[in-house]
């Protein structure tokens, strides 16, 4: 057990929040496959105030996901406080504030990464959020706004002063978007000076990298986003490596079992709508396997769930034998909300 502030986790490898991706069925699946914590995609605090069906659906989770955090974003203190209270009432283990989103629509209103431009004002809002609930409040930030304002040190200090439980940090500035490389040296510097736990994030695509980032930079945990979409076994493998066990080999049986489980969770949650989600995941999982291009082309035209999963079983049963690992060097999902 690792104690990160007031939250206990089994080990230091966890799934990053991703909009349209870390929904309840995928979080449940990744908890089962050893992400030590899961966090929802960002949900608008202003939207929570209006409690539309769509917003409330994003906040649903199942018991198997615990420990689970729900991530909110917004610029209005009153709505952020109310959103924290809703998250607490729903029974989540913690509430995470998105302070890393670089998307213009979000930053223009002063939310996401824009909030860190004024750490003093941010401190007042965080203080109100922390005081409004009993569950821990966590935050997810970037290194700064741009090369001239890399103020994560200040943001972490402000957060620690008001009792934020931990800080997740994606090693890029807002201006960088998803370009360049995550600056792990900077993350290491933040960790060295931080009085509260720091979770490092950015560009981890293998178990070897996960363990080496964890050990080299002294962070309390590492968060993996896109890497888990192409290798959903990355948390298990990282844990194996850290524990000195042989790293789990991805066999056809193992992958087909995972697909079966994911199919079940998706159907349970989304019914017929699960087809759209399933297509995306199957396409990502196929990266590097022979015939992946043709498989992807096919997947997006298959009209029924039945046919889709049958095609996937057929593809992976054969393809699993050989994976061209150069897929790891290809740019992948170069945009998102954090």
Ligand X SMILES: Cc1cc2nc3c(=O)[nH]c(=O)nc-3n(C[C@H](O)[C@H](O)[C@H](O)COP(=O)(O)O)c2cc1C
Residues annotated as catalytic (active site), given as ranges? 101
> Which part of the chain contacts ligand X (CB under 6 A), choosing from 14-22, 58-66, 74-82, 320-328?
14-22
- 18 touches ligand X (CB under 6 A): yes
Kindly give, in sequence order, each residue whose CB lies less than 8 Å from that of residue 102, ignoring residues fewer than 6 positions away. 112, 113, 142, 174, 175, 177, 338
Give 43's strand partners.
Answer: 72
Give the x-and-dash track for 134-153 against ligand X (CB under 6 A).
Answer: ------x-------------
On whether the CB atoms of residues 32 and 9 are closer than 8 A, the answer is no
Instruction: Please identify, using beta-carbon distances, which residue of 105 and 322 lies nearer to ligand X.
Output: 105
CB of 178 to ligand X, least distance (A): 7
CB of 15 to ligand X, least distance (A): 9
Kindly give, in sequence order, each residue whose CB lies less than 8 Å from that of residue 329, ignoring residues fewer than 6 positions away. none
> Which part of the chain contacts ligand X (CB under 6 A), choosing from 16-24, 60-68, 281-289, 299-307?
16-24
Q: Binders of ligand X among 35-94, rule CB under 6 A?
A: 41-42, 71
Sole binder of ligand X in the list 19, 37, 156, 158 (CB under 6 A)? 19
CB of 169 to ligand X, least distance (A): 9
Alpha-carbon torsion, ordered 201, 207, 209, 211, to 10 deg: 80
Q: Binders of ligand X among 297-336, rule CB under 6 A?
A: 333, 336
Sole binder of ligand X in the list 191, 226, 263, 277 (CB under 6 A)? 226
Instruction: Please identify, using beta-carbon distances, which residue of 93 and 201 lies nearer to ligand X.
Output: 201
Instruction: Please identify, using beta-carbon distances, which residue of 7 and 43 lies nearer to ligand X.
Output: 43
How many residues bind to ligand X according to rule CB under 6 A? 24
Sole binder of ligand X in the list 225, 278, 284, 308 (CB under 6 A)? 225
- 98 touches ligand X (CB under 6 A): yes
Q: Which of 109, 107, 177, 183 is nearest to 152 (CA)?
A: 183
Give the x-and-dash track for 183-212 against ligand X (CB under 6 A).
Answer: ------------------xxxx--------
On whether the CB atoms of residues 140 and 112 are closer than 8 A, the answer is no
Q: Point out which residues bind ligand X (CB under 6 A).
A: 16-19, 21, 41-42, 71, 98, 100, 140, 170, 201-204, 224-227, 333, 336-338
């Amino acid at each position: 057990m690792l104690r990160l502030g007031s939250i206990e986790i089994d080990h230091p490898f966890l799934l990053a929040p991703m909009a349209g991706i870390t929904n309840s069925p995928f979080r449940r699946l990744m908890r089962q496959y050893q992400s030590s914590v899961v966090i929802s995609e960002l949900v608008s605090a202003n939207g929570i105030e209006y409690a539309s069906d769509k917003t409330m659906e994003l906040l649903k989770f199942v018991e198997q996901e615990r420990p689970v955090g729900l991530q909110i974003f917004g610029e209005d203190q009153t709505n952020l406080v109310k959103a924290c209270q809703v998250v607490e009432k729903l029974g989540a283990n913690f509430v995470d504030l998105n302070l890393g989103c670089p998307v213009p629509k979000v930053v223009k209103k002063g939310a996401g990464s824009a909030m860190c431009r004024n750490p003093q004002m941010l401190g007042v809002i965080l203080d109100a959020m922390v005081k409004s609930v009993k569950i821990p409040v966590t935050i997810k930030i970037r290194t700064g706004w741009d090369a001239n304002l890399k103020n994560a040190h200040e943001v972490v200090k402000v957060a620690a002063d008001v009792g934020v439980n931990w800080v997740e940090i994606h090693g890029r500035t807002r201006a960088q978007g998803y370009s360049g490389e995550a600056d792990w040296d900077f993350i290491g510097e933040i960790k060295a000076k931080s009085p509260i736990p720091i979770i490092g994030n950015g560009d981890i695509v293998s178990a070897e990298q996960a363990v080496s980032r964890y050990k080299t930079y002294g962070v309390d945990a590492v968060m993996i986003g896109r890497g888990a979409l192409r290798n959903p076994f990355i948390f298990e493998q990282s844990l194996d490596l850290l524990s000195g066990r042989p790293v789990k080999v991805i066999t056809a049986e193992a992958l087909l079992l995972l697909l079966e489980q994911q199919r079940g969770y998706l159907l349970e949650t989304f019914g017929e709508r699960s087809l759209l989600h399933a297509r995306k995941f199957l396409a990502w999982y196929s990266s590097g396997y022979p015939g992946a291009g043709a498989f992807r082309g096919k997947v997006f035209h298959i009209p029924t769930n039945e046919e889709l999963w049958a095609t996937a079983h057929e593809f992976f049963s054969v393809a699993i034998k050989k994976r061209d690992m150069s897929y790891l060097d290809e740019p992948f999902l170069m945009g998102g909300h954090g």
